[in-house]
Amino acid sequence: MSNITKEKLAAEDIAAQLTNAVHEHRLKPGAKLREDEVSDVFGVSRTVVRQALRALAFEGLLTIERNRGAFVSKPSLKEAHEVFQARALLEPSTARAAAERTTAADIVLLERHIKEEHEALDQDRPGLALKLSGDFHLEIARIADQQTIEQFLKQLVSRSSLVIALYWKRRNALCESNAHHALVDALRNHDGSAAEELMKGHLLDIYSQLDLREYDEGATSLKEALRK
């Protein structure tokens, strides 16, 4: 979170840097963010910091407790389920829509994105790889030209990052199957059905690598949501 430049940072910039830190798991769930500590680091007044913190709280990344401060959120098991259920509703259709609109330029961008993910893994920076992986999903919503859904997905990806920090089964053996590669292939071929199915499978794959067993309410399961 280096900040050498004297340029005056806006709330937006601060929010972005904090978001990166959380996505890369440099800031862990439960961590407290004191206002004047943050304002010292970024060289702005608390007014601006508070704007940033409140924006991130709205996205679900932080939780603000009145008179107590801002903390990196710790999603409950229920929230973890809800996040992936919501993603299961939004992302497959979005991938299908994206397939119809994908351009050559998009493919180049996505492939560069995947390359960066692999590089991050090679350099043993799993936090960065995870963040890039999340961005990949947002990129698909962008290609689908669905800004409303993209905005929701941004929040869901953020929360997913927290869920993974808390509930990932085996911290070492990091995922990154070739799921993203397969998705890019489907998009290149404008094969909406394939993209939709691959996205369903990919989400289910991530979901199944989470340790959410304790949670056993009769609630609708994700598998059920993705079955059809």
**Contact residues for a second copy, defined by CB under 8 A:** 51, 54-55, 58, 79, 82-83, 85-86, 89-90, 93, 96-97, 100, 145-149, 152, 156, 159, 219-220, 225
Q: Name 149's bridge partners.
A: none
Neighbours of 46 (CB within 10 A): 14
Stretch that binds DNA, among 63-71, 141-149, 173-181, 198-206 (CB under 7 A): 63-71
User: Contact region for DNA (CB under 7 A) — 62-70, 97-105, 177-185, 212-220?
Assistant: 62-70
Long-range contacts of 58-63 (CB under 8 A, 24+ apart): 59/154, 59/155, 59/158, 60/155, 60/158, 60/159, 61/18, 61/19, 61/22, 61/158, 61/159, 61/162, 62/33
Pick 64 or 174: Cβ nearer DNA: 64
User: Which uninterrupted H or E stretch holds 2?
Assistant: none
Among 26, 32, 115, 190, binds DNA (CB under 7 A): 32
Closest to DNA by CB, 32 vs 223, is 32
What's the gap between Cα 204 and its chain centre?
16
Under a CB-based contact definition with an 8 Å cutoff, are residues 17 and 1 in contact? yes
- Torsions phi, psi for 146 (to 5 deg): -120, 90
Our finding on whether 10 is near DNA (CB under 7 A) is yes
58 binds, among a second copy, DNA, none (CB under 5 to 8 A by kind): a second copy
Choose which of 70, 90, 186, 199 interacts with DNA (CB under 7 A): 70
Query: Binds 32, which of DNA, a second copy, none (CB < 5 to 8 A, cut-off by type)?
Result: DNA
The tokens for 180 are: 């993203």
Q: Which residue type, as a one-letter code, is found at position 25? A: H
State yes or no: residue 40 binds DNA (CB under 7 A). no
Q: Counting contacts by CB under 7 A, is residue 67 touching DNA?
A: yes
Q: Give me the residues that bind DNA (CB under 7 A), please.
A: 8, 10-11, 32-36, 44-48, 50-51, 64, 66-70
